[in-house]
Structure 1
């Protein structure tokens, strides 16, 4: 989604200089990606493009890889409403072909991978049938690609919630899709994501006690290419990670209209990931998009239909390359 040297940070955030990204002691066997809605599609793209970095993925209200085929009309119909339905066998064939051709990473790195797919029965934005197609994509990939019989796929689609990320608290917004798209559903989705991807916690869970810092996303452009992101992103570092202990990493992609410019720090502070990050010794990277009219992305979605270029869902895509580069700067070495 290549690898270039460390770049320096030099811009200011809210009147103060943004801290450079720290070099953490990352355990490459505990690196994962997650996302909601457009972020879910982005998470799938990252896992397919860089399975050597992201063997684990949590997909919340998202569909199958390469669903849009570079076409906005297909994204709005097949990949959101499920009409016409996605051709899952063709998408699996495409994913295998791209890996074989070197456009994406080798699928062998998913031999012991994990995929957790969560979606609500009341989702009117990304239809449950679309999310089920996402689950079927991974199951068919597991059963078709050589050496992937050990890929774990968990399809969690029987819960009653709308198009949002469920929180442990109760509230009426669970059955609505309203900003900041964090539904009070009595179900701790963040906790389930950590449990599915990382197993048992290392410590008791409590309030988040680590540091949430901003960083200059523009400083990490690869070869100067604009990834069409916001100036600032966020990184949450649990106390153990800050102390130099071995640490995992979760990249958490927000959904459309859920970036910091739209909802402030609601997603990066209130989604529930940080408290579980402390319990698992896992840093959380929160990249941020930006809205634009040229290219057409007024809702600040991640690119899952091609507004950043025709290679948007491969290793050559400007956003995947940027994410992979930032992850490398945090301490995740690429596998060969």
Structure 2
């Protein structure tokens, strides 16, 4: 079903304006929610990611961009890094239908090397120690099997000995496979979770982490809300919800040393839509997390009229040209959430030298940031100089906090 991955999208500018009162209220709510999170004993270096469809593409680019802190990835119906190359048309054709030809893995490998040389993603040599699981359905007509084959070729270049590919699984459409939850395994329909007699989440986690304890039959932990607006100013302007979710096992909340797994939903699977909580509750991860000391994070996107009507994660560039790098707002937000849950700095991967030195902070509307030379304009959006993070619309109505971390280098951050 093409609607899960995109629908008919165009690059129209979103009209997102926030008053100072609204913004202050959002920041207060975010601070209150963030403060309510339990103190967790998490090993950031034992973090992993997975995702379905658009979430699979997001998981791939997050895995590549932040490979220095990740253990591995599970990809359900996705394709190679930077497949769309900033083009919606390429996303809808090459990267999904495989027409006129499926993605070129060699081209994706060269793009990875180019980004790494520019310092916008982590060193891809980190991928050599990663463990990867790939899953593709034989009857997937949204992200067709040859696209998954290209993803396998891409990962084989980096992780040849630690990759498992469940290839062209019979009777499986474009969905998240579970043992017994969801709709018909061969029908791509809401909630895009299928009864496939196959534990996709469990197999992915076992590939990444090795031998696992059996999953729990009754969850003993709890779900918590994550104030995403605490980690990304004006999140709606980036197609991001104010609130994300996490499942925290009781053992982790009690202080046990735990690891973290981030799951990116597919298009239309965001919690504020018709799917509701079904993806983050029933995709199959939490039962394994409960008995294996894994905190599961479910970041949430939302629709944006014109640019992203189906609430997809940005893997083709609707939120700016640097969508596949560490500078991308959505990517930065998730990294900040990881750091925050682990009790670390919420800088989204800023250079160590910048973290250790004093920084100068500026709070102003985006028009003033551009006028003062701290940002520049791209397609009606203000991008921070140096990091190229998308600050939202180039407008006096959008206020952003910028921290200067180097000469003509600014990052979005919380100011004192």
What per-residue deviation string (whole Å, max 9, x for no partner) do you get for residues 111-143 of structure 1?
Answer: 31111111111101110111111111111244x
The alignment status of 1:311 with 2:322, answered yes or no, reads yes
Query: 1:225 deviation in Å?
Result: 9.7
2:152 corresponding residue in structure 1: 135
What per-residue deviation string (whole Å, max 9, x for no partner) do you get for residues 160-216 of structure 1?
Answer: 210000110177610000100000111111111111111112465322211101122
Aligned length: 318
Whole-Å separation in 1 of the counterparts to 2:265 and 2:73: 14
Choose from 28, 34, 52 the match for 1:10.
Answer: 28
The alignment status of 1:52 with 2:52, answered yes or no, reads no
Query: 1:109 deviation in Å?
Result: 2.3
RMSD, matched Cα: 2.4
Residues 97-246 of structure 1 aligned to structure 2 (within 5 Å): 97-142=114-159, 152-160=162-170, 161-169=172-180, 173-202=184-213, 205-221=216-232, 226-246=237-257
Larger radius of gyration: 2
SS at match of 1:260: coil
CA contact (8 A) 1:116 1:154 kept: yes
TM-score normalised per structure 1: 0.88
What per-residue deviation string (whole Å, max 9, x for no partner) do you get for residues 292-315 of structure 1?
Answer: 114x10000000100000000011
Query: 1:19 deviation in Å?
Result: 6.5
1:267 corresponding residue in structure 2: 279
Choose from 51, 54, 61 the match for 1:38.
Answer: 54
CA contact (8 A) 2:181 2:282 kept: no
Query: 1:159 deviation in Å?
Result: 1.4
TM-score normalised per structure 2: 0.72
SS at match of 2:86: coil
Query: 1:22 deviation in Å?
Result: 3.3
CA contact (8 A) 2:183 2:189 kept: no
CA contact (8 A) 1:277 1:283 kept: yes
Whole-Å separation in 2 of the counterparts to 1:170 and 1:266: 10
SS at match of 1:91: helix
Whole-Å separation in 2 of the counterparts to 1:293 and 1:223: 16
- Structure 1 pair 180–204 and aligned structure 2 pair: CA distance change class (3 A): closer
CA contact (8 A) 1:46 1:54 kept: no
SS at match of 1:10: helix
SS at match of 1:79: helix
Whole-Å separation in 1 of the counterparts to 2:141 and 2:261: 28
- Structure 1 pair 170–9 and aligned structure 2 pair: CA distance change class (3 A): closer
- Structure 1 pair 9–250 and aligned structure 2 pair: CA distance change class (3 A): farther
Query: 1:226 deviation in Å?
Result: 4.8
Query: 1:9 deviation in Å?
Result: 6.3
The alignment status of 1:291 with 2:299, answered yes or no, reads no
Contiguous gaps of at least 5 residues in structure 1: 1-7, 143-148
